[in-house]
Amino acid sequence: MEFPDSAVLEKILNRKNINLDISARCTLECPRCRRAQYKRSGDKVPGHDISRTDFEKILKHFDRILFCGQVSDPTVHPELPYFLKRIYEERKFTTIATAASHKPIEWYEKTFKVNPNAVWRFGVDGFPEESHRYRINQDGPKLFEVMKMGVSMGIDIEWQCIVFSYNEDHIEAIKQMAIDNGITFSLTYSSRWHNLTGYPDPYQPKNTSQYIGGDTFNETNIHTKKRIDILSNYSDYQKKLWNEELWLKESSLVI
């Protein structure tokens, strides 16, 4: 077994940031998601809804919490507004990465208000009306309206877009759509392609510069790729926090 060097190990043991999956549920059926891998293997998706008690324990020890759906979407958890409220009361920091669209728009408005300092990152891959081609069951146009509403309320809104075969030819237009509406645009290059193991993948971009292939599949290149064209209107401090989140995603804690 290969252990991390002392500097990395010290960072892991002393970090004050954490990435959480707060449930095991999601309304979407994204084909390359970890959830889909479990289902294809006939395995149960691990995890359960985190309780208020357990969340308070985590909040006591960490200063920044990333709600990032590795196997779930944070908006599915009924206590998310409470968790965000507690983070705000404790004057700590949070980012919510979400792609599900089952909640009514009124829910987003109320939840934005309980923690006006939270960063909301919406996974909409392509133009809103085409995102469902990968984010199966997603209402992209609805989430676009939610993003615009968040901007109008002074909420920090990010539009995260993964490059796929169906959107690779109009990335600049998608980016401009975000900019025109005051939304921070984040372009992500994926490495989850089935043809790396000999199977054709209809989602993989044709342009080799628009994805991460087997020859560049390592931590350094993944992070370098993901930093391309990300958060261009953010301060150096905000970019530092973003890069920290990239590292956190490699060690998600499933509750």
What are 186-227's pLDDT values in tens digits? 998 888 877 655 667 889 898 877 777 543 333 333 333 343
State how many domains the chain has: 1
Output the pLDDT for position 228. 38
Residue 206: closest CA among 161, 177, 164: 164
Residue 157 counted as domain residue: yes
Q: Which domain holds residue 23?
A: 6-249
Residue 77: closest CA among 56, 47, 106: 47
Output the pLDDT for position 208. 79
- Tell me the chain's radius of gyration from C-alpha atoms: 18
Amino acid at 179: I
Residue 99 counted as domain residue: yes
- CATH number for the domain that contains residue 67: 3.20.20.70
* Residue 99, C-beta contacts closer than 8 angstroms, at least 6 positions apart: 28, 30, 69, 73, 122, 123, 124, 135, 138, 143
Output the pLDDT for position 25. 95
Residue 255 counted as domain residue: no
Residue 168 counted as domain residue: yes
Residue 238 counted as domain residue: yes
Most confident of 28-37, 136-145, 200-209: 136-145
Residue 1 counted as domain residue: no
Task: State how far the Cα of 45 lies from the Cα of 24, in Å rounded to an integer.
Answer: 6
Residue 239 counted as domain residue: yes
Residue 40: closest CA among 53, 27, 30, 55: 30
DSSP assigned state of 157 = E
Residue 254 counted as domain residue: no
Three-state DSSP class for 133? helix
